[in-house]
Amino acid sequence: MTAFAYRSGVLHAEDVDLAALAESVGTPFYCYSSAALERHYRDFAAALPTDSLIAFSVKANGNLAVLKTLGALGAGADVVSGGELKKALAAGIPAARIVFSGVGKTRAEMQIGLDAGIHQFNVESEPELEALNAVALASGKRAPVTLRVNPDVDAKTHAKITTGTAESKFGIPWDRSRAAYALAARLGGIEIVGVDVHIGSQITTLAPFEAAFSRVADLVRRLREDGHAIGRLDLGGGLGVAYRTDNTPPPDAAAYGAVVARVTKDLDVRLIFEPGRLIAANAGVLVSRVIYVKQGDTKKFLILDAGMNDLLRPALYDAHHEIVCVAEPADTAPRTRYDVVGPICETADLFARDRDLPDPKAGDLVAFLGAGAYGAVMSSAYNARPPAPEVLVKGGQWSLVRPRMTDDALIASDRIPPWL
Ligand code: LLP
């Protein structure tokens, strides 16, 4: 059962009519389904060893209500900034279930993590190791650390979201990993607890995972021979989701879990995962209203009230999101080819090129599917457009979990200097 389905001719989120919701909250807006978040989390957890830590990647969807929903199921959080760390704590996720990733943690951010007593820091370079050591020693603490190693595996995903190849800024270069562990072992403020890897995002085949995890499993054995206590293995996030209804879906959690089990079976480590997209993407939609249908010289445009400031993925990665009408079209409804665009003064403000849609009219509602991950979190106020608000649905209940910012609030966030 999908959480977003037509009922009585109208697209619903669980039991909530999205057309009625649009009347209440205005458009555009993001809408998340609690049931879908829960189902995606549980399906993933069921495919993995029961003592695994599943740390939801907050960068995918940082809304406190979403984090609280997942935290209540036992999820931890994968954070990449002091801000995300504070959000995870504010949502009630215990520090002991938080892992701190990211290539550029500042000392101030490290301090927040140390003070909170987080589960581990995933360290990505030797200078970061030295900095964390200094911060920990100054606080009279030892920081629990895994080193993120770069296995030099091509994740075969979009170039802008691949992270595990040699030319990427992420992780410690493979050939230096044992030396970096030796350095960590000499630092009194560092406690080595495990190994970390993450090779990219929206990965839709299992081979890159298998290649990377196998390399890392070998490294765990080597590091133990070198005398390090490796008790944890953080395998990152990255399992892709279906964005197109006409493509073969990517491997499911069970298939991924089988690869993990095969590669890690003799390792005796506690596994950590950092899924983001897999949990949140298909648990959310972006609902928008058609402002105009415009006939161009050679093309027909559907101009929406959502723009690239609300959903950046198509502009940034040429990402595909299915666009459906909120009012259910008849199976026989004729379809017309549109470029679906936003109102922003940028050619890149283009959601979909040459999309066949059942003739929406000005005032009609459309929904972007797969918008629950890397949607609202990547929004901005470009063109002085307050980003879309967020709604969480549970059964027949809904709640505005981030209200729409007003134009006045946006203007009030700027300051005019007294000397101007
Ligand atoms: N862990 C680390 C260290 C990461 O860098 C990421 C994503 C994740 C976990 C979560 O990956 P996921 O399970 O969601 O694939 N804005 C892009 C995606 C960037 C992902 C960056 N890192 C998009 O909209 O496709």
Q: For residue 204, how far is its CA from the centre of ligand 1 (angstroms)? A: 13
Phi, psi of 291 (to 5 degrees): -85, -50
CB 82 within 8 A of CB 109: yes
What is the DSSP annotation of 273-333?
E--SHHHHGGGEEEEEEEEEEEE-SS-EEEEES--TTT--HHHHH-----EEESBPPPTT-
- Cα–Cα dist 51/35, whole Å: 23
Q: What is the DSSP letter of 260?
A: H
- Taking the CA of residue 237 as reference, the ligand 1 atom at the shortest distance is 13
Pocket test for ligand 1, best of 101, 122, 201, 216 (most atoms within 8 A of CB): 201
Supply angle C-alpha 124, 274, 243, rounded to 5. 120
- Cα–Cα dist 60/116, whole Å: 22
Q: Which CATH superfamily is domain 4-31+281-412 in?
A: Lyase, Ornithine Decarboxylase; Chain A, domain 1 (2.40.37.10)
Q: For residue 240, how far is its CA from the centre of ligand 1 (angstroms)? A: 10
pLDDT for the residue numbered 248: 87
Q: What letter represents residue 405's amino acid?
A: M
Does 401 score more than 90 pLDDT? Answer: yes
Q: How many CA atoms lie within 13 A of 150 on its CB side?
A: 19
pLDDT, average across residues 77-96 = 98
pLDDT for the residue numbered 157: 81
Q: For residue 280, how far is its CA from the centre of ligand 1 (angstroms)? A: 12
Q: Which CATH number among 3.40.50.2300, 3.20.20.10, 3.30.70.260, 1.20.1060.10 corresponds to the domain 102-273?
A: 3.20.20.10
How long is the chain? 420
Q: What letter represents residue 1's amino acid?
A: M
Pocket test for ligand 1, best of 48, 57, 79 (most atoms within 8 A of CB): 57
Longest dimension (CA), the chain: 71
- Cα–Cα dist 337/298, whole Å: 11
CB 373 within 8 A of CB 281: yes
Q: Is the N-terminal amide bond of 329 cis, ω within 30° of 0?
A: no
pLDDT for the residue numbered 162: 74
How many CB atoms are located within 10 Å of the residue 303 CB? 18
pLDDT band at residue 71, thresholds of 50, 70 and 90?
very high
Positions marked catalytic: 345
pLDDT band at residue 159, thresholds of 50, 70 and 90?
confident
* % pLDDT > 90, the chain: 94
pLDDT, average across residues 338-353 = 97
Domain boundaries of the chain, sorted by first residue: 4-31+281-412, 102-273
Q: What letter represents residue 199's amino acid?
A: I
Tell whether ligand 1 has an atom less than 6 A from the beta carbon of residue 282: no
Burial of 309 per CB tally in 10 Å (0-12, 13-18, 19+) = buried
Tell whether ligand 1 has an atom less than 6 A from the beta carbon of residue 201: yes
How many CB atoms are located within 10 Å of the residue 289 CB? 18
pLDDT for the residue numbered 1: 56
Burial of 186 per CB tally in 10 Å (0-12, 13-18, 19+) = exposed
Q: E strand or H helix at 414, and its extent?
A: none
Tell whether ligand 1 has an atom less than 6 A from the beta carbon of residue 40: no
Q: How many CA atoms lie within 13 A of 164 on its CB side?
A: 27
